[in-house]
A and B are shown apart, each in its own frame.
Chain A
Amino acid sequence: MSAGQLSTTRPTLTRRIARILARWPRIRVASLLAAPVGWLVVFYLGSLAVLFAAAFWHYDANITFTITKTFSFENFVALISDPVYRSIAGRTVMIAALVNITDAVLAFPIAFVMGKLAGPKLRSVLGVLVLMPLWTSYLVKILAWRLILSDGGVLNWLLKPLHLSGPGFGEVAVYLVLSYIWLPYMILPLAAGFERVPTSLLEASTDLGARTWHTFRSVVLPLVFPALVAGSIFTFSLTLGDYIAVSQVSSTQFIGSVIYDNLGVVGDLPLAAAFATVPVLVMVVYLLLARRAGAFEAL
């Protein structure tokens, strides 16, 4: 670009617009925000609002099989009073919590190596090695675990000489598969968290006489805790909403399975909408707690 190009002061249209924008920063911000915020508010928040409203509608399951847009708490009453739904919700949250803890424990050593032990070259190699499986298709990973856990699959073949057999398809399989699938989502934020821990603090702790375990517990752990929570937002939320892995490696039911069946097979949209408020509520509480733990700065 030549200097002459920049020094022209002809009042072109863009320049006139520029002058208006320079005078009113609010217009500047609004013109940037209009499209993206409009999109998210209309399509995303708007849809969530409709979903929430639909949770109070009525579905006639006996005669007409149609939905009427009335207002009642009948869907919530049905969900709370039926022990089947309670146990499904409990099981979903329970397995999500277990997956969360498992991934946190599994991610610690590799994240520590990535964030603190490895040199820059090894660090970027490990980064790619973790990033690749994160982006590998969710369905491909489920397919792979079906091959591993099925009757004539790899696991049973490996265990046969020991006169053992694998867990087969069921709740344990769901737990294993979901822990596997969401693990990279925990490793990456945690590794970034370790990387942000200043090495000088660790040295200071050692100089002051703390043993490795002591330093880990009182210096490292509090510092990486926000990163741990950041990673857990993904592992927890993704497990909470799953129904495809659940249906492929078990015949058990998750909140997602009930939503899917009611929407597709049964056609009871209001009940599905009411049940969908459970993961929303759980996640809202989780996100609020996560924000207090400083996880959003670690995302």
Chain B
Amino acid sequence: MQLSRRLRVVLVGSTGCLLVVIYVPILLIVLYAFNPSKSQKWPVTGLTLQWIQAAIGNPGARSALVLSVQVGLIATGIALVLGSLLAAAVHRYHFFGRNVVSFLVILPVAFPGIVTGIALNTTFRTLFGGLSLFTLIVGHATFCVVTVYNNVIARMRRTPGSLVEASADLGADPLQTFRFVTLPVIRSALIAGALLAFALSFDEIIVTTFTAGFNETLPIWIVANLSRPNQLPIVNAVALGVIIASAIPVYLAQRVASDAAGYG
């Protein structure tokens, strides 16, 4: 298909425009984090670090941040184990129900979050005596598994199975094969998957709302404070922190495994 010069210009031009539209709202939040005025009107009236300092000193935001990091780390740990076991099974073996399993793992992200949320909420409240930190972590781990699974299985598909066979032929036991062959091959995919799973957990709000009980993660803190006009300048400053906090793991994941698309 030969593209005329004009069509090329149109395509590249609209790509540029779209990127501008995608980034302007995010840059706007960055700007508002430094806005001295309490009113949220445009244009901003100047630049100040006042609200960023207020956000850092805000006890509610701080404890919410700590909880979010804890939940993210534990959920990521669980997802790492479950996701890579599943990827190994689906990649290496043909077993009855293989397609069902690979379908099951994407369901928690293919179905709307509110379905996962209300299902877990109903189960925990009616059968297991209520919501707690445990239920929150279960909820997060459940939708994080697919991120690790996707990254690891993509890597395994690109790695020749003959490596593992060669290792066994040379007399290595499964543990040695795992340690010296499989792990080095999938290591960067594991890191990328873990970073993305953490980023996913850190930002998640819908399943969180339904499984957290009285626990307040950072997204829950943000939603609670969105309805308090007085708090909005601090929310903007926290939002700046959240942008940076989610950009770092994603950037690192991208560096570690440039092939880890890992959406969803």
Question: Does B145 contact A40, Cβ atoms closer than 8 Å?
Answer: yes
Contact of B1 among A54, A127, A205 (CB under 8 A): A205
Question: Does A141 contact B25, Cβ atoms closer than 8 Å?
Answer: yes
Residues in A254-283 with C-beta less than 8 Å from chain B: 255-256, 259-260, 263, 269, 272-273, 276, 279-280, 283
Q: Is A64 an interface residue (CB 8 A)?
A: no
Q: Is B172 an interface residue (CB 8 A)?
A: yes
B104 to chain A, nearest CB (A): 5
Contact of A110 among B14, B127, B263 (CB under 8 A): B14
Question: Does B243 contact A220, Cβ atoms closer than 8 Å?
Answer: no
Question: Does B1 contact A220, Cβ atoms closer than 8 Å?
Answer: yes
Which segment of B47-55, B57-65, B112-120 sits at the interface? Answer: B112-120
B196 to chain A, nearest CB (A): 8
Question: Does A117 contact B32, Cβ atoms closer than 8 Å?
Answer: no
* Interface residues of chain A: helix, strand, loop or mixed (majority): helix
Total interface residues in chain A, CB < 8 Å: 110
Using Cβ atoms and an 8 Å threshold, which residues of chain A touch B43?
157
The 0/1 profile, CB within 8 Å of B marked 1, for residues 134-159 of chain A is 11111111011111101011100100
Using Cβ atoms and an 8 Å threshold, which residues of chain B touch A14?
173-175
Known contacts A43-B120, A144-B29, A241-B115: A150-B107 contact under CB 8 Å: no
Question: Does A137 contact B246, Cβ atoms closer than 8 Å?
Answer: yes
In whole angstroms, how far apart are the Cα atoms of A272 and B25 in the complex?
A: 34
Q: Is B264 an interface residue (CB 8 A)?
A: yes
Q: Is B101 an interface residue (CB 8 A)?
A: yes
Contact of A47 among B23, B95, B119 (CB under 8 A): B119
In whole angstroms, how far apart are the Cα atoms of A9 and B170 in the complex?
A: 11
The 0/1 profile, CB within 8 Å of A marked 1, for residues 10-37 of chain B is 1110110011011101101100100000
Which segment of A70-78, A82-90, A167-175, A179-187 sits at the interface? Answer: A179-187
Question: Does A112 contact B11, Cβ atoms closer than 8 Å?
Answer: yes
- Number of chain B interface residues as a range: 35 or more
Question: Does A153 contact B42, Cβ atoms closer than 8 Å?
Answer: yes
Chain A's closest residue to B89 (CB) is: A32
Question: Does A139 contact B114, Cβ atoms closer than 8 Å?
Answer: no
Q: Is B71 an interface residue (CB 8 A)?
A: no
Question: Does B127 contact A241, Cβ atoms closer than 8 Å?
Answer: no
Q: Is A228 an interface residue (CB 8 A)?
A: no
In whole angstroms, how far apart are the Cα atoms of A269 and B118 in the complex?
A: 9
In whole angstroms, how far apart are the Cα atoms of A12 and B12 in the complex?
A: 62
In whole angstroms, how far apart are the Cα atoms of A212 and B32 in the complex?
A: 45
Q: Which of B19, B101, B111 has the most CB of A within 10 A?
A: B111
Further 12 A-B residue pairs, CB within 8 A, beyond A50-B119, A148-B25, A219-B1? A35-B82, A39-B142, A109-B10, A117-B11, A131-B261, A136-B243, A137-B246, A154-B42, A212-B2, A238-B112, A269-B125, A272-B118
